[in-house]
Amino acid sequence: GAVVSQHPSWVICKSGTSVKIECRSLDFQATTMFWYRQFPKQSLMLMATSNEGSKATYEQGVEKDKFLINHASLTLSTLTVTSAHPEDSSFYICSARSPGLAYEQYFGPGTRLTVT
Amino acid sequence: GQQLNQSPQSMFIQEGEDVSMNCTSSSIFNTWLWYKQDPGEGPVLLIALYKAGELTSNGRLTAQFGITRKDSFLNISASIPSDVGIYFCAGQRGGNTPLVFGKGTRLSVIA
Protein backbone atom coordinates (compact mmCIF):
# COMPACT_ATOMS: atom_id res chain seq x y z
CA GLY A 1 0.00 0.00 0.00
CA ALA A 2 0.83 3.73 -0.05
CA VAL A 3 2.21 3.87 -3.58
CA VAL A 4 2.90 7.15 -5.34
CA SER A 5 3.68 7.31 -9.04
CA GLN A 6 5.15 10.06 -11.19
CA HIS A 7 5.03 10.58 -14.90
CA PRO A 8 7.18 10.99 -16.85
CA SER A 9 10.22 9.48 -15.16
CA TRP A 10 12.49 11.62 -17.32
CA VAL A 11 11.97 14.37 -19.87
CA ILE A 12 14.15 16.48 -22.12
CA CYS A 13 12.78 19.75 -23.41
CA LYS A 14 14.01 22.86 -25.17
CA SER A 15 14.41 26.22 -23.49
CA GLY A 16 11.22 28.23 -23.53
CA THR A 17 8.86 25.29 -23.59
CA SER A 18 6.64 24.09 -20.74
CA VAL A 19 6.71 20.69 -19.12
CA LYS A 20 4.02 19.03 -17.03
CA ILE A 21 4.82 16.41 -14.40
CA GLU A 22 2.06 14.27 -12.88
CA CYS A 23 1.99 12.82 -9.39
CA ARG A 24 -0.59 10.21 -8.46
CA SER A 25 -1.41 8.39 -5.25
CA LEU A 26 -2.39 4.94 -6.48
CA ASP A 27 -3.97 3.26 -3.49
CA PHE A 28 -4.93 6.05 -1.13
CA GLN A 29 -6.47 9.48 -1.20
CA ALA A 30 -3.88 12.16 -0.63
CA THR A 31 -5.26 15.20 1.10
CA THR A 32 -1.89 16.88 0.78
CA MET A 33 0.81 16.58 -1.81
CA PHE A 34 4.28 18.11 -1.77
CA TRP A 35 6.71 18.96 -4.55
CA TYR A 36 10.45 18.83 -3.98
CA ARG A 37 13.48 19.61 -6.03
CA GLN A 38 16.77 17.81 -5.52
CA PHE A 39 20.17 18.77 -6.84
CA PRO A 40 22.95 16.18 -7.15
CA LYS A 41 24.31 14.99 -3.81
CA GLN A 42 21.97 17.28 -1.89
CA SER A 43 18.91 16.86 0.26
CA LEU A 44 15.37 17.47 -0.85
CA MET A 45 14.26 21.08 -1.12
CA LEU A 46 10.55 21.69 -0.57
CA MET A 47 9.06 23.80 -3.34
CA ALA A 48 5.38 23.85 -2.47
CA THR A 49 2.58 22.22 -0.53
CA SER A 50 -0.76 21.61 -2.17
CA ASN A 51 -4.04 20.64 -0.61
CA GLU A 52 -6.78 19.22 -2.77
CA GLY A 53 -9.09 21.89 -4.08
CA SER A 54 -7.09 24.86 -2.85
CA LYS A 55 -4.15 26.93 -4.03
CA ALA A 56 -0.66 25.67 -3.41
CA THR A 57 1.53 27.24 -0.75
CA TYR A 58 4.96 28.01 -2.15
CA GLU A 59 8.17 28.14 -0.19
CA GLN A 60 10.14 31.34 -0.09
CA GLY A 61 12.13 31.88 -3.27
CA VAL A 62 10.01 29.58 -5.44
CA GLU A 63 8.29 31.44 -8.28
CA LYS A 64 4.64 30.43 -8.33
CA ASP A 65 4.16 31.73 -11.88
CA LYS A 66 7.00 29.56 -13.10
CA PHE A 67 6.14 26.39 -11.21
CA LEU A 68 2.38 25.96 -11.56
CA ILE A 69 0.85 23.41 -9.22
CA ASN A 70 -2.63 22.00 -9.56
CA HIS A 71 -4.11 19.53 -7.08
CA ALA A 72 -7.34 18.78 -8.89
CA SER A 73 -8.32 15.59 -7.11
CA LEU A 74 -7.43 13.51 -4.08
CA THR A 75 -5.20 11.31 -6.22
CA LEU A 76 -3.58 13.70 -8.68
CA SER A 77 -1.33 16.74 -8.49
CA THR A 78 0.55 18.28 -11.39
CA LEU A 79 3.61 20.50 -11.56
CA THR A 80 4.08 22.53 -14.72
CA VAL A 81 7.44 24.15 -15.32
CA THR A 82 6.67 27.08 -17.59
CA SER A 83 9.14 28.67 -20.00
CA ALA A 84 11.81 26.24 -18.90
CA HIS A 85 15.45 27.29 -18.74
CA PRO A 86 18.57 25.13 -18.40
CA GLU A 87 18.84 26.11 -14.72
CA ASP A 88 15.47 24.41 -14.17
CA SER A 89 17.14 21.09 -14.96
CA SER A 90 16.84 19.00 -11.83
CA PHE A 91 15.28 15.96 -10.18
CA TYR A 92 11.70 16.72 -9.16
CA ILE A 93 10.03 14.50 -6.58
CA CYS A 94 6.48 14.57 -5.31
CA SER A 95 5.12 13.08 -2.13
CA ALA A 96 1.67 12.47 -0.77
CA ARG A 97 0.19 12.27 2.67
CA SER A 98 -3.08 11.18 4.17
CA PRO A 99 -4.49 11.41 7.68
CA GLY A 100 -5.57 7.82 7.20
CA LEU A 101 -1.89 6.90 6.99
CA ALA A 102 -0.96 8.75 10.18
CA TYR A 103 0.34 11.61 8.05
CA GLU A 104 3.27 9.49 6.93
CA GLN A 105 4.67 10.91 3.74
CA TYR A 106 5.24 8.67 0.73
CA PHE A 107 7.38 9.71 -2.20
CA GLY A 108 7.11 9.16 -5.91
CA PRO A 109 10.06 7.82 -7.91
CA GLY A 110 11.02 11.26 -9.21
CA THR A 111 11.22 12.95 -12.61
CA ARG A 112 14.53 13.92 -14.15
CA LEU A 113 14.09 17.14 -16.16
CA THR A 114 16.77 18.25 -18.57
CA VAL A 115 16.33 21.57 -20.38
CA THR A 116 18.54 22.09 -23.40
CA GLY B 1 14.76 26.62 5.35
CA GLN B 2 15.64 24.73 8.49
CA GLN B 3 17.45 21.45 8.18
CA LEU B 4 18.25 18.79 10.71
CA ASN B 5 21.86 18.06 11.64
CA GLN B 6 22.54 14.59 10.31
CA SER B 7 25.79 12.72 10.80
CA PRO B 8 27.92 11.27 9.54
CA GLN B 9 27.79 12.71 6.03
CA SER B 10 29.20 9.53 4.56
CA MET B 11 30.37 6.11 5.70
CA PHE B 12 32.41 3.35 4.14
CA ILE B 13 31.95 0.02 5.90
CA GLN B 14 32.70 -3.62 5.37
CA GLU B 15 29.88 -5.99 4.60
CA GLY B 16 28.60 -7.52 7.82
CA GLU B 17 29.41 -4.50 10.00
CA ASP B 18 26.80 -2.57 11.96
CA VAL B 19 26.06 1.05 11.07
CA SER B 20 24.78 3.93 13.16
CA MET B 21 23.69 7.39 12.07
CA ASN B 22 21.84 10.14 13.87
CA CYS B 23 19.96 13.38 13.55
CA THR B 24 19.70 16.26 15.97
CA SER B 25 17.66 19.40 16.09
CA SER B 26 17.53 22.55 18.16
CA SER B 27 13.75 22.31 18.29
CA ILE B 28 11.22 19.64 19.13
CA PHE B 29 9.58 17.33 16.61
CA ASN B 30 6.55 15.15 17.23
CA THR B 31 7.38 12.59 14.56
CA TRP B 32 10.68 11.32 13.22
CA LEU B 33 10.99 9.38 9.98
CA TRP B 34 13.88 7.66 8.27
CA TYR B 35 14.06 7.27 4.50
CA LYS B 36 16.46 5.57 2.10
CA GLN B 37 17.08 6.90 -1.39
CA ASP B 38 18.72 4.92 -4.18
CA PRO B 39 20.30 6.80 -7.12
CA GLY B 40 17.68 8.18 -9.49
CA GLU B 41 14.81 7.13 -7.26
CA GLY B 42 12.53 8.75 -4.74
CA PRO B 43 13.03 8.23 -1.00
CA VAL B 44 11.47 5.12 0.50
CA LEU B 45 10.08 5.23 4.03
CA LEU B 46 11.95 2.84 6.33
CA ILE B 47 10.70 3.62 9.83
CA ALA B 48 8.32 6.14 11.39
CA LEU B 49 8.51 7.06 15.08
CA TYR B 50 5.67 8.77 16.95
CA LYS B 51 6.53 8.79 20.66
CA ALA B 52 9.48 10.11 22.60
CA GLY B 53 11.63 7.19 23.68
CA GLU B 54 10.06 4.85 21.13
CA LEU B 55 12.34 2.16 19.72
CA THR B 56 11.15 0.54 16.50
CA SER B 57 12.64 -2.17 14.32
CA ASN B 58 12.14 -3.08 10.68
CA GLY B 59 14.19 -6.17 9.90
CA ARG B 60 17.85 -5.28 10.38
CA LEU B 61 16.97 -1.63 10.94
CA THR B 62 16.32 -0.13 14.35
CA ALA B 63 15.46 3.49 15.03
CA GLN B 64 14.80 5.43 18.19
CA PHE B 65 12.95 8.65 18.92
CA GLY B 66 15.03 10.58 21.43
CA ILE B 67 13.51 11.28 24.81
CA THR B 68 14.01 15.03 24.40
CA ARG B 69 12.21 14.89 21.01
CA LYS B 70 15.22 16.66 19.50
CA ASP B 71 17.07 13.68 18.11
CA SER B 72 16.80 10.26 16.55
CA PHE B 73 19.18 7.53 15.49
CA LEU B 74 19.08 4.72 12.95
CA ASN B 75 21.07 1.51 13.28
CA ILE B 76 21.59 -1.06 10.55
CA SER B 77 22.90 -4.41 11.69
CA ALA B 78 24.95 -6.85 9.61
CA SER B 79 25.12 -4.60 6.55
CA ILE B 80 24.81 -6.07 3.07
CA PRO B 81 25.64 -4.57 -0.34
CA SER B 82 22.03 -3.58 -1.05
CA ASP B 83 22.12 -1.26 1.98
CA VAL B 84 24.13 1.15 -0.17
CA GLY B 85 22.33 4.45 -0.66
CA ILE B 86 21.56 7.74 1.00
CA TYR B 87 19.68 7.74 4.27
CA PHE B 88 17.67 10.79 5.26
CA CYS B 89 16.13 11.61 8.59
CA ALA B 90 13.05 13.81 8.63
CA GLY B 91 11.16 15.50 11.42
CA GLN B 92 7.59 16.66 11.53
CA ARG B 93 6.15 19.03 14.04
CA GLY B 94 2.64 17.75 13.79
CA GLY B 95 -0.54 17.37 11.80
CA ASN B 96 -0.15 18.45 8.22
CA THR B 97 3.07 20.42 8.53
CA PRO B 98 5.88 19.80 6.01
CA LEU B 99 8.78 17.52 6.81
CA VAL B 100 12.16 18.98 7.70
CA PHE B 101 15.00 16.89 6.27
CA GLY B 102 18.56 16.17 7.24
CA LYS B 103 21.28 16.46 4.61
CA GLY B 104 21.61 12.71 4.34
CA THR B 105 24.16 10.02 5.15
CA ARG B 106 25.73 8.34 2.14
CA LEU B 107 26.44 4.70 2.93
CA SER B 108 28.88 2.58 0.96
CA VAL B 109 29.30 -1.11 1.73
CA ILE B 110 32.48 -2.88 0.69
CA ALA B 111 31.99 -6.55 -0.01
Split at pLDDT 50, 70, 90, the class of B97 is confident
State yes or no: pLDDT of B41 exceeds 90: yes
Alpha-carbon span B87 to B105, nearest angstrom:
5
Q: A–B: how many Cβ contacts below 8 A?
A: 59
How close, in Å, is residue A65 to chain B by CA atoms? 21
Asked if the Cβ–Cβ distance from B42 to A93 is below 8 Å, we say yes
Q: Give me the sign of the Cα torsion angle B39, B41, B43, B47.
A: negative
- The verdict on whether omega for the bond into residue A109 sits within 30 degrees of 0, i.e. cis, is no
Give the per-residue pLDDT at A54: 85
> Is A4 an 8 Å CB contact of chain B?
yes
> Is A79 an 8 Å CB contact of chain B?
no
DSSP B50-93: -STT-EEEETTEEEEE-TTSSEEEEEE-S--GGG-EEEEEEEE-
Average pLDDT over every residue of B82-110? 92
Residue B94's SS3 state is coil
For residue range A15-58, list pLDDT tens digits in order: 999 999 999 999 988 889 999 999 988 999 999 999 888 889 99
- pLDDT cut 70: percent of chain B above it: 98
**What phi-psi label fits residue B93: left (phi over 0), alpha (psi between -120 and 50 degrees) or beta?**
alpha
Asked if the Cβ–Cβ distance from A103 to B31 is below 8 Å, we say yes
> Is A62 an 8 Å CB contact of chain B?
no
Asked if the Cβ–Cβ distance from B44 to A107 is below 8 Å, we say yes
For residue range A53-90, list pLDDT tens digits in order: 888 999 999 999 999 999 889 999 999 999 999 999 99
For residue range B52-72, list pLDDT tens digits in order: 999 999 999 999 999 999 999
How close, in Å, is residue B78 to chain A by CA atoms? 26
State yes or no: pLDDT of A101 exceeds 80: no
